[in-house]
Structure 1
Amino acid sequence: MRIVLLLAFLLASTPFFSQTEDEKQIKAIYDMALTNGKAYDWLNYLSNQIGGRLSGSVQAQHAVDYTKTQLDALGLDKVWLQPVMVPKWVRGIPEFAYFETSPGLTTNVPICALGGSVATPDGGLKANIVEVKGLEELEKLGKAKIEGKIVFYNRPMDPTLINTFSAYSGCVDQRASGAVEAAKYGALGVIVRSMNLRLDDYPHTGSMRYGDTPVNQRIPAAAISTNAAELLSTTLKLNPNTKFYFKQSCKQYDDVQSYNVIGEITGSTYPNEVMVVGGHLDSWDLGDGSHDDGAGCVQSMDVLRILKKTGYKPKRTLRVVLFMNEENGMRGGNKYAEVAHEKNEKHVFALESDSGGFTPRGFSIDASEENIEQIQGWKNLFEPYLIHVFQKGGSGADIGPLKDEGIVLAGLKPDSQRYFDYHHAENDTFEQVNKRELELGAATMASLIYLMDKYGTVPTQKVKG
Structure 2
Amino acid sequence: MKKYIFTAFSVLFSLSLFAQAPEVKEDSLKIREIYDAALVKGQAYNWLDHLSNNIGGRLSGSLNAQRAVEYTKAELEELGLDKVWLQPVMVPKWTRGAREHAYIQTGPGMTTEVNITALGGSVATDPAGLKAQVIEVQGIEDLENYKDEINGKIVFYNRPMKPELIQTFEAYGGCVDQRYSGAEAAAKYGAAGVIVRSLSHKIDKYPHTGSMSYGDLPENKRIPAAAISTKDAEYLSGILKLKKDLEFYYKLSSENHGEVQSYNVIGEITGSEFPEEIMVVGGHLDSWDLGDGSHDDGAGVVQSMEVLRLFKETGYQPKRTIRVVLFMNEENGLRGGNKYADVAHSKNENHIFALESDAGGFTPRGFSFDADDAQFAQIESWKPLFKPYLIHYFEQGGSGADIGPLKKGDVVLAGLRPDSQRYFDHHHAATDTFEHVNKRELELGAATMTSLIYLVDKYGMKHIDLEKDRKL
TM-score by structure 1 length?
Answer: 0.97
Q: 1:301, 1:320 within 8 Å by CA — same for their partners in 2?
A: yes
1:98 maps to 103
Are 2:60 and 1:52 equivalent residues in the alignment? no
Structure 1 counterpart of 2:310, which letter? Answer: I
Are 2:262 and 1:251 equivalent residues in the alignment? no
The DSSP-based 3-state class of the residue aligned with 1:463 is helix
2:152 maps to 148
1:226 maps to 230
Partner Cα separation in structure 2 for residue 148 and residue 231 of structure 1: 22
Structure 2 counterpart of 1:149, which letter? Answer: K
- Cα root mean square deviation, aligned: 1.1
Partner Cα separation in structure 1 for residue 281 and residue 318 of structure 2: 14
Change (3 A) 1:14 1:49: same
1:262 maps to 266
2:138 maps to 133
Q: 1:457 is matched with which residue: 461, 468, 472? A: 461
Deviation at 1:139, TM superposition (A): 1.1
Are 2:245 and 1:235 equivalent residues in the alignment? no
The DSSP-based 3-state class of the residue aligned with 1:145 is coil
1:7 maps to none
Q: 1:87 is matched with which residue: 92, 96, 101? A: 92
Runs (5+) with no aligned partner, structure 2 = 1-15
Partner Cα separation in structure 1 for residue 242 and residue 18 of structure 2: 75
Partner Cα separation in structure 2 for residue 122 and residue 460 of structure 1: 62
Deviation at 1:411, TM superposition (A): 0.1
Partner Cα separation in structure 2 for residue 442 and residue 173 of structure 1: 32
1:273 maps to 277
- What is the total number of aligned residue pairs between the two structures? 454
Partner Cα separation in structure 2 for residue 12 and residue 105 of structure 1: 72
2:344 maps to 340
1:173 maps to 177
Partner Cα separation in structure 1 for residue 17 and residue 395 of structure 2: 30
Structure 2 counterpart of 1:69, which letter? Answer: A
Any idea what the Cα deviations from partners look like across 1:402-438, whole Å, max 9, x if unmatched?
A: 0012100000000000000000000100000000000
1:35 maps to 40
Are 2:301 and 1:297 equivalent residues in the alignment? yes
Any idea what the Cα deviations from partners look like across 1:41-95, whole Å, max 9, x if unmatched?
A: 0000000000000000000000000000000000000000000000000000000
Q: 2:17, 2:381 within 8 Å by CA — same for their partners in 1?
A: no
Q: 2:17, 2:24 within 8 Å by CA — same for their partners in 1?
A: no
Q: 1:207 is matched with which residue: 193, 211, 220? A: 211
Counting only pairs closer than 5 Å after superposition, residues 5-24 of structure 1 correspond to structure 2 as 15-24=20-29
The DSSP-based 3-state class of the residue aligned with 2:20 is helix
The DSSP-based 3-state class of the residue aligned with 2:429 is coil
Runs (5+) with no aligned partner, structure 1 = 1-10
Any idea what the Cα deviations from partners look like across 1:174-215, whole Å, max 9, x if unmatched?
A: 000000000000000000000000100000000000011111
Percent same amino acid among aligned pairs?
68
Structure 2 counterpart of 1:454, which letter? Answer: K
Change (3 A) 1:348 1:12: closer
Q: 2:329 is matched with which residue: 322, 325, 339? A: 325
Change (3 A) 1:15 1:462: closer
Deviation at 1:376, TM superposition (A): 1.0
The DSSP-based 3-state class of the residue aligned with 2:149 is helix
Partner Cα separation in structure 1 for residue 77 and residue 455 of structure 2: 25
TM-score by structure 2 length?
Answer: 0.95
Structure 1 counterpart of 2:203, which letter? Answer: L
Structure 2 counterpart of 1:49, which letter? Answer: N
Q: 1:183, 1:219 within 8 Å by CA — same for their partners in 2?
A: yes
Partner Cα separation in structure 2 for residue 156 and residue 435 of structure 1: 31
Q: 2:437 is matched with which residue: 415, 433, 442? A: 433
Q: 1:406, 1:460 within 8 Å by CA — same for their partners in 2?
A: no
Q: 1:124, 1:245 within 8 Å by CA — same for their partners in 2?
A: yes
Partner Cα separation in structure 1 for residue 194 and residue 208 of structure 2: 14
4+ runs deviating over 4 angstroms: 11-14
Deviation at 1:14, TM superposition (A): 5.3
